[in-house]
């Protein structure tokens, strides 16, 4: 009887400690970029704690690796980015989070796949990418009065059920409020609040999450380079996402633009806020990307060997209407960019955009070359806009306009002679709304 009581006490103690450590988990774990020899796992705790990851290849579970331990700190929003540097190419891994050396048991899948070495050996791998923009998570104390602007958070479980290899977050991934704009405390609270909903966690834990930003996760509505706290939101963005790089200089102090490759696709992740000129300024050069980022982007496009060059930017590029913050309002810069793409004979380019709270495909016909497509996918959980009905977008593809919450999927498939990408738009329940196939041979 005495032994039984001791065992019971030991079990209760263990259960209490395990629960206490799990209660320290604020959000995540989240899979960031994955390469052939390393991957990134992000996590956020509720207070200072020590975190690490154990992981193993699913085809060799006996060989368990452990990441270095990191301490989460208040100055970084109690976030940590754990680098797993004992992986090899083309394998699926299972991983486990430890907080203060205690295993955190989660009721959803925690896996990732390393990048495959396929060049010169076999056909490019087939894979899928989920995408969307405009994620509003209600918080009544600071939201505007009336019905909450966000709903249908279960859309993230629907996306996860599609099992994408990558989730592309196309901006407005969180909505800073008036209470947040002018302090680091407010900004980090908003990023934390948006990241912490339960419906989101399974998607974060099993697919690569790659992000750009737009005005609402950069600053106020329609914000630009004059925003005082842009270096604070830049740090928050870097603390909360797992992209490989942010900006150009060694310390990555300017902007959050970068590039990332998977299979035969290169994603160009552009920053349409950090260098953007104010909408109401009457003098000076009108710009979205700024000269340094624009020239880097053209250089990167020209030197890319990827079959598909997928350009991700917050605002619409090909929509012809000079409305809101469409690139059509920045005609000199847009014309230069599109001209450079054509002059440099860059093949396989198409755009992914968000921002507008409706979805549509725009297509720009060009002389002696392929058309440029711009697929806008919006919104995920925020309110829906009907403004598209009043826009004269002469480049809109008939039948592609949808004014409801949604998400998109890109399916890259086929051998080198028949490579293609299929675009599919889904509603929050996973019902297919629209699709279109682009053949690589038609983008040359």
Q: What is the pLDDT along the chain (444 residues), one digit of tens a residue?
A: 555 554 444 444 444 444 455 689 999 999 999 999 999 999 999 999 999 999 999 999 999 999 999 999 999 999 999 999 999 999 999 999 999 999 999 999 999 999 999 999 999 999 999 999 999 999 999 999 999 999 999 999 999 999 999 999 999 999 999 999 999 999 999 999 999 999 999 999 999 999 999 999 999 999 999 999 999 999 999 999 999 999 986 677 899 999 999 999 999 999 999 999 999 999 999 999 999 999 999 999 999 999 999 999 999 999 999 999 999 999 999 999 999 999 999 999 999 999 999 999 999 999 999 999 999 999 999 999 998 988 999 999 999 999 999 999 999 999 999 999 999 999 999 999 999 999 999 999
The answer to whether the CB of 87 falls within 8 A of the CB of 114 is yes
Token code pair at residue 263: 């299979």
Report d(CA 25, CA 71) in Å as an integer.
13
Nearest to 360 by CA among 306, 296, 417, 317: 317
Domain ranges of the chain: 27-113, 127-443
Nearest to 112 by CA among 96, 135, 133, 132: 96
The answer to whether the CB of 283 falls within 8 A of the CB of 289 is no
CA atoms within 13 A on the CB side of 180: 27
CB atoms within 10 A of CB 363: 16
Cα 217 to chain centroid, rounded: 12
Rounded to two decimals, what is the model's pTM? Answer: 0.95
Pairing of strands 166-170, 208-212: parallel
Beta strands in 354-405 (DSSP E): 360-364, 372-376
| Domain at 127-443: CATH code | 3.60.21.70
Report d(CA 230, CA 234) in Å as an integer.
6
pLDDT digits (tens, 9 = 90+) for 405-442: 999 999 999 999 999 999 999 999 999 999 999 999 99
CB under 8 Å to 253, separation ≥6 — which residues?
231, 247
Angle at 365 between CA 360 and CA 370, to 5 degrees: 105
The answer to whether the CB of 435 falls within 8 A of the CB of 425 is yes
Beta bridge partners of 97: 53
Q: What is the strand order of the sheet 166-170 is part of?
A: 208-212, 166-170, 127-132, 407-413, 420-426, 432-439
The answer to whether the CB of 209 falls within 8 A of the CB of 242 is yes
Choose the CATH number for 27-113 among 2.60.120.330, 1.10.1200.10, 2.40.50.140, 2.60.40.380: 2.60.40.380
Report d(CA 279, CA 380) in Å as an integer.
26
The answer to whether the CB of 320 falls within 8 A of the CB of 393 is yes
Name the one residue in this structure whose structure tokens are 């992914």: 352
Beta strands in 281-347 (DSSP E): 308-313
Report d(CA 375, CA 355) in Å as an integer.
12
Beta bridge partners of 96: 54
């Amino acid at each position: 009887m005495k032994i039984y009581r001791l065992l019971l006490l030991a079990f209760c103690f263990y259960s209490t400690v395990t629960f206490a450590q799990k209660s320290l988990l604020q959000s995540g774990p989240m899979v960031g970029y994955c390469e052939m020899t390393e991957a990134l796992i992000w996590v956020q705790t509720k207070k200072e704690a020590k975190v690490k990851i154990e992981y193993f290849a699913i085809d060799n579970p006996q060989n368990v690796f452990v990441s270095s331990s990191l301490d989460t700190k208040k100055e970084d929003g109690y976030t940590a980015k754990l680098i797993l540097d004992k992986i090899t190419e083309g394998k699926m891994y299972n991983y486990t989070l430890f907080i203060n050396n205690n295993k955190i048991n989660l009721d959803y899948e925690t896996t990732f796949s390393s990048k495959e070495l396929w060049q010169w050996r076999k056909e490019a791998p087939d894979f899928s990418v989920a995408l969307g923009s405009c994620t509003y998570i209600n918080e009544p104390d600071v939201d505007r009065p009336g019905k909450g602007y966000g709903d249908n958070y279960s859309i993230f479980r629907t996306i996860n059920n599609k099992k994408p290899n990558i989730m592309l977050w196309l901006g407005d991934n969180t909505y800073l409020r008036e209470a947040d704009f002018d302090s680091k405390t407010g900004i980090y609270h908003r990023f934390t609040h948006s990241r912490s909903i339960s419906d989101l966690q399974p998607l974060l834990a099993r697919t690569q999450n790659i992000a750009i930003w737009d005005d609402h996760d950069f600053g106020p509505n329609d914000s630009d380079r004059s925003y005082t706290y842009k270096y604070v939101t830049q740090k928050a963005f870097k603390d909360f996402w797992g992209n490989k790089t942010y900006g150009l200089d060694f310390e990555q102090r300017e902007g959050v633009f970068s590039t990332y490759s998977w299979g035969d696709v290169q994603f160009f992740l552009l920053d349409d806020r950090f260098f953007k000129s104010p909408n109401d300024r009457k003098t000076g050069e009108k710009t979205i990307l700024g000269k340094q980022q624009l020239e880097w982007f053209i250089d990167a496009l020209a030197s890319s060997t990827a079959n598909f060059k997928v350009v991700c930017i917050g605002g619409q590029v090909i929509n012809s209407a000079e409305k809101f913050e469409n690139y059509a309002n920045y005609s000199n810069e847009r014309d230069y960019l599109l001209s450079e793409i054509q002059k440099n004979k860059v093949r396989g380019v198409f755009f992914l955009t968000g921002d507008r709270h409706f979805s549509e495909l725009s297509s720009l016909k060009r002389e002696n070359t392929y058309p440029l497509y711009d697929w806008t996918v919006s919104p995920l959980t925020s309110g829906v806009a009907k403004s598209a009905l009043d826009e004269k977008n002469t480049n809109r593809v008939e039948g592609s306009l949808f004014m409801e919450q949604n998400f998109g999927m890109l399916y890259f498939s086929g051998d080198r002679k028949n490579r293609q990408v299929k675009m599919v738009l889904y509603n929050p329940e996973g019902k297919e709304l629209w699709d279109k196939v682009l053949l690589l041979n038609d983008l040359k």
